[in-house]
Amino acid sequence: MPKLDLDSIPQTNATGYPPEFADKVQERWYRALAPAAGLKDFGVSHVELKPGAWSSQRHWHEGEDEFVVLVEGEAVLVDDSGRTALRPGDCAAFPKGDGNGHVLVNESEESCVFIAVGKPAASDCHYSDIDMHLEEGRGFRRKDGSGF
Contact residues: a second copy, CB under 8 A: 1-4, 6, 33-34, 37-42, 44, 46, 64-65, 67, 69, 71-72, 77, 79, 81, 84, 86, 88-96, 98, 100, 102, 113, 115, 117-119
108 phi/psi in degrees, rounded to 5: -90, 180
Distances, alpha carbon 28 to alpha carbons 11, 48, 52, 112, 124, in Å: 10, 6, 9, 10, 22
Q: Which is nearer to a second copy, 89 or 137 (CB)?
A: 89
Provide the minimum distance between the beta carbon of 86 and a second copy in the complex, in angstroms, as a whole number: 7
Provide the minimum distance between the beta carbon of 13 and a second copy in the complex, in angstroms, as a whole number: 20
Q: In sequence order, what are the beta bridge partners of 113?
A: 48, 72
Q: Which is nearer to a second copy, 13 or 45 (CB)?
A: 45
Provide the minimum distance between the beta carbon of 46 and a second copy in the complex, in angstroms, as a whole number: 7
72 phi/psi in degrees, rounded to 5: -160, 140
Q: Which is nearer to a second copy, 27 or 98 (CB)?
A: 98
Provide the minimum distance between the beta carbon of 63 and a second copy in the complex, in angstroms, as a whole number: 9
Residue 106 CA to residue 21 CA, distance in Å, equals 17
Q: Which is nearer to a second copy, 119 or 126 (CB)?
A: 119
Provide the minimum distance between the beta carbon of 40 and a second copy in the complex, in angstroms, as a whole number: 6
131: Cβ contacts below 8 Å, ≥ 6 apart:
142, 143
Cα torsion through 88, 42, 62, 77, rounded to 10: 10
Q: Which is nearer to a second copy, 117 or 130 (CB)?
A: 117
